[in-house]
Amino acid sequence: MNITEYNNCVDKYSDFVYRYLLKSVRNSQAAQDIVQDSFEKLWIAHKNLDAAKAKSYLFSCAHNAMVDYVRQDHRTSDLEQSVNIPQNAFNQYTDVQDILQQALQTMKPEQRSVILLRDLQGYQYQEIAEVTGLSLAQVKVYIFRGRVFLKQYLEKTGIRSHSDLEELV
């Protein structure tokens, strides 16, 4: 990968990486720092890296740094904590996406990562496995559990029917 391709990567992927990190760590400054670190690692490796692999490499770096950050910062929340959601809490939100964002924060980091990579970046399962270092089977399990968790979270906020959703949507 040459310098032009590297700069193209910055243009194409920096926003994606930033969004992914911001949703994962919920801290703009930390997300920026990790973006910076990830691109720094990409730059260090750019001479030996194929441009086609740059995105995967970049997200791998970002993911690993994010996991380290989350571990260090103890920002993981237990699933049980999210259970204590008041009934009809959905009235506090203006958008389903807001509820889902809240739900993401209560997810396990691995689940959150695979869901974000799947939904935000549209990665295939195999790509997610490469980025996160998980096995393909683990990725599928996390995707599945993540979806079920999000659905349960929506239920817990009091959304029971289509009309409830329509109120928000």
Partner 1 sequence: MNINSDNIEALIVDYFDGTLNEQQSRELDRAIALNPKFRQLFNEYQSALDCTVGEGLPVAIDPEFAEELKQTSDFNEIDTPYFDRLAVLVSECIATQAEQEEYNQMILQDDSKLRSAVLYSYCKIKPNKDLQCPYKNNLKRSQIRPLRYAFAAAAAVLAFLLIFRVVYFSECSIDLARLSGTISVNFAGRNVQVVDNYVFENVENSTPKQMTYANLPYAVHSQSDAVRLHDPEPQSTISPTLQHDDSLIADLCIASVSESKISYPEDILQPITIDWKSIEELDNNGLAISIDFIGEQGIADFKEDKARIHRRINERRSPKICVSYDEDGKKDGVSLLIGNRELKVWSR
Selected binder of partner 1 within 14, 64, 82, 102 (CB under 8 A): 14
85 binds partner 1 (CB under 8 A): no
Selected binder of partner 1 within 1, 22, 53, 75 (CB under 8 A): 22
162 binds partner 1 (CB under 8 A): yes
Residue 124 contacts residue 143 (beta carbons within 8 Å): no
Cα→Cα distances 79→21, 54, 103, Å: 20, 34, 10
Residue 115 contacts residue 143 (beta carbons within 8 Å): yes
148 binds partner 1 (CB under 8 A): yes
- Characterise 133 by phi-psi region: left (phi > 0), alpha (psi -120 to 50), beta (else): left
Cα→Cα distances 100→25, 111, 115, 149, 167, Å: 15, 13, 11, 10, 16
87 binds partner 1 (CB under 8 A): no
91 binds partner 1 (CB under 8 A): no
Round to whole Å and give the CA distance between 20 and 121. Answer: 8
138 binds partner 1 (CB under 8 A): yes
Q: Which residues bind partner 1 (CB under 8 A)?
A: 3, 6-7, 10-11, 14-19, 22-23, 32, 35-36, 39, 43, 96-97, 100-101, 104, 115-116, 118-120, 135-138, 140-141, 143-144, 147-148, 150-151, 154-155, 159-162, 165
